[in-house]
Amino acid sequence: MPVRPHEDASAAIARAAASWTFEDLAPATVDAAKRGIIDTIGVSLAATGPAGADVAPVRTWLEDLRAPGGVPALGYGWPLTSQDAIFWMGALSHALDYDDYADIVHPSAPVVSAVLPLAQVTAPIDGRRLLVAVAVGQDLVARIALSLRKSLADFGWLPALPGTLGAALGAATVLGLDEVRTRNALGLALHRTSGTMEALTGVGSAYRAVREGFDAQAGAAAAELAKRGMRGDPNSFDGEFGLFPQFFDNDYDRDFFLAGVGQELLGPRITFKPWPCAGHTHLYLTAISEMQQQAPIAYKDIRRVVVIGGSKVLEQQCEPSALRTAPPHSIDAKVSIPFLVGKMLRHGTVKLDDFSAQGLRDQDAIDIANLVEWRLDPAFGRVDEGFGPARVEVLMADGTTRSNRVEQSLGHPQKPLPWSQLVEKFHDCLAVSDARIPMTSAQAVVDLVDDLENVEDVRQVMRHLVSPNSPARSHVER
216/70 same-domain check? yes
Q: Which of residues 269, 289, 319 is at a domain's end?
A: 269
Q: In what order do the strands lie in the sheet with 390-396?
A: 372-376, 302-309, 390-396, 401-406
Q: What CATH number does the domain containing 70 carry? A: 1.10.4100.10
Residue 456 resides in a domain = no
Each residue's pLDDT expressed in tens, for the chain with a length of 478 residues: 556 668 999 999 999 999 999 999 999 999 999 999 999 999 999 999 988 888 999 999 999 999 999 999 999 999 999 999 999 999 999 999 999 999 989 999 999 999 999 999 997 999 999 999 999 999 999 999 999 998 898 899 999 999 999 999 999 999 999 999 999 999 999 999 999 999 988 778 899 999 999 999 999 999 999 999 999 999 999 999 999 999 999 999 999 999 999 999 999 999 999 999 999 999 999 999 999 999 999 999 999 999 999 988 899 999 999 999 999 999 899 999 999 999 999 999 999 999 999 999 999 999 999 999 999 998 887 766 778 799 999 999 999 999 999 999 999 999 999 999 999 999 999 999 999 999 999 999 999 999 999 999 999 999 999 977 665 544 444 4
Number of domains in the chain: 2
Verify that 36 and 171 share a domain, yes or no. yes
SS3 content of the chain, % helix, strand, coil (to 5): 55, 10, 35
Phi, then psi, of 403 in degrees rounded to 5 = -145, 155
Per-residue model confidence (pLDDT) at position 232: 99
Residue at 442: amino acid letter: A
- The radius of gyration of the chain from alpha carbons, rounded to an integer in Å, stands at 22
Q: Are 123 and 230 part of one and the same domain? A: yes
350 occurs within a structural domain: yes
CA distance 233 to 181: 11
End-of-domain residue from the set 406, 433, 466: 406
What is the per-residue pLDDT for 468? Answer: 77
Measured in Å, how far apart are the chain's first and last C-alpha atoms?
40
**Is there a domain that residue 474 lies in?**
no
Last residue of a domain, one of 406, 441, 471: 406
- Distance from the Cα of residue 466 to its chain's centroid: 22
In a domain, 44, yes or no: yes
Same domain, 258 and 338: no
Asked if residue 205 is part of any domain, the answer here is yes
Same domain, 241 and 284: no
Whether residue 248 is found in the same domain as residue 376: no
The C-alpha angle with vertex 101 and arms to 99 and 103, in degrees rounded to 5, equals 165
Closest CA relative to residue 104, chosen from 139, 141, 51: 141
**179 & 51 share domain:** yes
Query: Which residues are 466's β-sheet partners?
Result: 75
Q: Is the same domain home to 220 and 305? A: no
The H-or-E segment that residue 294 falls in is helix 279-294
Residues 179 and 311 in one domain: no
| Cα-based distances in Å from 468 to 158, 303, 369 | 37, 52, 43
Angle at alpha carbon of residue 225, lines to 461 and 196, rounded to 5°: 80
Closest CA to 299 of 356, 348, 354, 351: 348
- The answer to the question of residue 441 being in a domain is no
- For residues 83 and 113, what is the distance between their CA atoms, to the nearest angstrom? 10
- Smallest Cα–Cα separation from 461: which of 444, 438, 478? 444
Side chain identity at residue 244, one-letter code: F
Same-domain check for residues 343 and 375? yes
What is the domain-level CATH number for residue 290?
3.30.1330.120
Residue 147 counted as domain residue: yes
Task: Round to whole Å and give the CA distance between 453 and 159.
Answer: 30
**What CA–CA distance (Å, rounded) separates 221 from 160?**
17
- Phi and psi at residue 449, in whole multiples of 5°? -65, -40
Q: Are residue 26 and residue 57 in the same domain, yes or no?
A: yes
**Strands 79-80 vs 71-72: parallel, antiparallel or unpaired:** antiparallel
Give yes or no: residues 64 and 152 share one domain. yes
* 3-state secondary structure (DSSP) of residue 301: helix
State the pairing for strand pair 302-309/79-80. Answer: unpaired
Q: How many helices (H) and strands (E) does the chain have?
A: 22, 6
Predicted local distance difference test score (pLDDT) of residue 310 = 92
- Structural domain of 395: 279-406
- Residue 315's pLDDT is 94
Domain-embedded: residue 450 = no
Can you tell me the distance from the alpha carbon of 18 to that of 155, in angstroms, rounded to the nearest whole number? Answer: 31
